[in-house]
Amino acid sequence: MNHYDYEAMIFTEEPLQLEAQADLLAHLENCGECRSLATAWFGVQRDLTAAPVQAPAAGFAGRWEQRLERDRQQVHHHQVLGTLGLSLAGALLLILALVFFLTPVFETPKVYLYAFLYQALNMVVAADMMQNLLVGLVRSVTSPVTLVIGLILVGIVSQLGVLWLASIRLATKTRRV
């Protein structure tokens, strides 16, 4: 056997056979290097065994809670910044799109202005026609109704309104079980 084999025997975690133990002991008596290594390894094991379990300073859990809070704030801060960044990017894109689509308007404003005025005029004419239509319709409906019939109708409609409100209230009221 060579030094490497004896080293393996010194550092092994497996129990050695009696023969191997005797062989190793004989080697250690003659080999100062391996003897020194074995002594050192015993020393290491002794120190590791004696080394106490280290505990953190008091208040570790409290400090952890503070750290968690800091971390949450940091995450929130990043989220806010991210949202802000996205919003800004979106706004910028929107502005660019607007600029792109409105460029022709700025280049030939007269044409667009006339078109706008024409459309506005058309809308006014259409509104006037609609108004005339509605007025004619109301007049044709209300002309046969006399004052008395009108008052009766208003009274009926008022009563129906009261009934409607009462039934809505009953339907939405919480019931006792």
Partner 1 sequence: MFKTLEIPLNTHVVSEPATDREAQWLVKALQGDSPAFTHLVEAYQRPVYNLCYRMLGNAEDAEDAAQETFLRAYKSLRRFDQSRPFATWLLSIAAHYCIDQLRRKDLAVTSIDDMLVPEVPDHAPDMDTRLGRKQEQQRVRAVLDVLEPIDRAAVVMYYWYDYSYDEICQELGLSMSAVKSRLHRARKAMALRWNQTEAAHGTSS
Interface positions with partner 1 (CB under 8 A): 7-8, 10-12, 15-16, 20-21, 24-25, 36-38, 40-57, 60-61, 63-65, 67-68, 71
Q: How far apart are CA 117 and CA 115, in angstroms?
A: 6
**Minimum distance from residue 64 beta carbon to partner 1 (Å):** 5
What region, left, alpha or beta, does residue 55 occupy, with left being phi > 0 and alpha being psi -120 to 50 degrees?
beta
Identity of the residue, 76 or 91, whose beta carbon is nearer to partner 1 in the bound complex:
76
- Tell me, rounded to whole angstroms, the distance of Cα 31 from its chain centroid: 68
Residue placing its CB nearer to partner 1 in the complex, 64 or 164: 64
Q: Supply the minimum distance, in Å, between the C-beta of residue 43 and partner 1.
A: 5
Interacting residues of 38 by C-beta distance below 8 A, sequence separation 6+? 10, 28
CB of residue 8 to partner 1, shortest distance in Å: 7
